[in-house]
C-alpha cells in the first residue's frame, strides 16, 4: 500500500468541476441500453459505442475518471489500450470488480454482492492494465420488514474487505452502498435506511483498517422512491442528503460521487446543483453517473457512424451541465 498514491489519486478523482463517468455496464446491461436503438451488443459494437464517448473532444474538461468493465479494459481504441487511451487525455481509468448481486440466502427480497473470490489476483491484473481505482456496488432494498440488520452488515462487511484488497494494490476503492429507489417509501424512510447503511459501512471500513483519505464514497441521494405519493423537491432532497452525510460520513473522506439511481438526466443534474448550494460541506460533492450522462448520447448515436458528431455533442453538453451543477452554477 502506498498511501501517497491513494491520496493523490482520490483527490484527482474529485477535482473541482469534474466527475466520474460510469461506463462499466456488463454485457447484459449494455444490451438493455442498445435495445432502445435496435442494436445487438457484441464486443465490437460495445467498443464502438465507448470509442464514441471517449473520443469526444474536450470531455476531459468535465470527466476525471471512467469506470470500465472487464471486457473494455482489455480492448483498444485505434490501436491503443483503453486505459492508456484515456490516460493520454488526462482521464483516470478505473474498473468494476464486483460480479453482481445474488439473493441473500434465508432473507427473501434481499441481495448480497459477489466477487471477493480471486479479487486480489484480479486487482493485480487490472493494475497492470492501468487501473488506478475500482468500484464495488452493494444494493439495499427497502420493503416490508427489510432491510434487515443482517443484510446491511453483510454488505458493509464485503465493501470493507473489497476496499482493503484495493488499497493493498494502491488502487482507490469507490465504495458504493446503494439504497434502491424501488418502492413507495418517502424521503424520511430513505434517510433512515441510508443513515444506518452508511454508519455500518464506515464502522466496517475502520475495522478493516481502510485508509479513509484514499476512499471515494458513491452513495444514493436521499430521495423518495419511484412510486412514492409524496415526491420530494430538489431542495428537500439536497437538505436531507447533506444533513445525512454531515452526521455519518467522516471528514477524512476526500469526496462523494453520487450515483444517479434511475433519475432522469435533468433530475440528476438539478438535484446535484441544489446539493452544492448548501453550505457547511466537508467534502467535494461530485458525480459518478452512468445513464444520466449517456442516455441522450446513445439515442443520438443510434449505432450509426454518421451520427457520431451529433452524439458527442449531446454527451458533451450533458457533461458540461452536470459539471456546472457540481459547482453550484447551473
Query: Would you kindly state where each structural domain of the chain is located, as residue ranges?
Result: 3-326
| The pLDDT of residue 309 | 97
Contact predicate 320/11, CB 8 Å: no
Count of beta carbons in the 10 Å neighbourhood of residue 149: 9
pLDDT tens track for 83-118: 999 999 999 999 999 999 999 999 999 999 999 999
Mean predicted confidence (pLDDT) in 312-319: 97
Q: Which residues form the catalytic set?
A: 176, 218
Query: What span, in angstroms and rounded, lies between the C-alpha atoms of 3 and 101?
Result: 30
Residue in the block written with cell 409524496:
230
Give the angle subtended at the CA of 52 by the CAs of 13 and 127, to the nearest 5°. 40
Please give the mean pLDDT across all residues of the chain.
95
| CATH number for the segment(s) 3-326 | 3.20.20.70
Q: Bigger pLDDT: 135 or 33?
A: 135
Q: Give me 266's grid cell.
A: 435533468
Which DSSP string corresponds to 263-298? Answer: --HHHHHHHHHHHTTSS---SEEEEEESHHHHHHHH
pLDDT beyond 90 at 225: no
pLDDT beyond 90 at 289: yes
- Parallel/antiparallel/unpaired status of strands 284-289 and 133-140: unpaired
pLDDT tens track for 179-217: 999 988 999 999 999 999 999 999 999 999 999 999 999
With bands split at pLDDT 50, 70 and 90, how would you rate the model's confidence at 256? very high
Mean predicted confidence (pLDDT) in 144-164: 97
Amino acid at each position: 500500500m502506498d498511501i501517497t498514491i491513494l491520496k493523490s489519486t482520490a483527490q484527482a478523482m474529485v477535482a473541482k468541476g469534474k466527475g466520474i463517468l460510469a461506463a462499466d455496464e456488463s454485457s447484459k446491461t449494455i444490451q438493455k441500453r442498445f435495445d432502445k436503438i435496435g442494436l445487438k451488443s457484441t464486443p465490437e459494437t460495445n467498443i464502438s459505442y465507448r470509442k464514441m464517448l471517449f473520443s469526444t473532444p474536450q470531455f476531459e474538461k468535465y470527466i476525471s475518471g471512467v469506470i470500465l468493465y472487464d471486457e473494455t479494459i482489455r480492448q483498444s481504441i485505434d490501436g491503443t489500450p483503453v486505459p492508456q487511451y484515456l490516460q493520454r487525455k488526462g482521464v483516470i481509468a478505473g474498473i468494476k470488480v464486483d460480479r453482481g448481486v445474488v439473493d441473500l440466502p434465508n432473507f427473501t427480497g434481499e441481495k448480497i454482492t459477489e466477487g471477493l473470490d480471486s479479487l486480489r489476483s484480479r486487482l493485480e491484473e487490472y493494475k497492470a492494465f492501468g487501473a488506478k481505482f475500482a468500484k464495488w456496488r452493494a444494493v439495499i432494498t427497502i420493503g416490508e420488514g427489510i432491510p434487515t440488520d443482517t443484510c446491511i452488515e453483510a454488505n458493509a462487511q464485503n465493501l470493507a474487505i473489497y476496499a482493503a484488497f484495493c488499497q493493498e494494490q494502491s488502487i482507490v476503492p469507490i465504495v458504493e452502498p446503494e439504497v434502491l429507489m424501488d418502492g413507495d417509501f418517502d424521503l424520511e424512510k430513505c434517510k433512515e435506511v441510508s443513515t444506518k447503511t452508511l454508519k455500518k459501512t464506515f464502522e466496517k471500513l475502520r475495522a478493516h483498517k481502510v485508509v479513509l483519505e484514499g476512499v471515494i464514497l458513491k452513495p444514493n441521494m436521499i430521495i423518495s422512491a419511484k412510486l412514492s405519493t409524496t415526491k420530494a423537491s430538489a431542495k428537500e432532497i439536497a437538505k436531507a442528503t447533506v444533513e445525512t452525510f454531515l452526521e455519518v460520513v467522516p471528514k477524512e473522506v476526500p469526496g462523494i460521487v453520487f450515483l444517479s439511481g434511475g433519475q432522469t438526466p435533468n433530475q440528476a443534474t438539478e438535484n446535484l446543483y441544489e446539493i452544492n448550494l448548501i453550505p457547511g460541506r466537508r467534502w467535494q460533492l461530485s458525480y459518478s453517473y452512468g445513464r444520466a450522462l449517456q442516455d441522450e448520447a446513445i439515442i443520438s448515436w443510434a449505432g450509426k457512424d454518421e451520427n457520431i458528431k451529433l452524439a458527442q455533442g449531446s454527451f458533451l453538453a450533458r457533461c458540461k451541465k452536470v459539471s456546472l451543477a457540481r459547482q453550484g452554477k447551473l
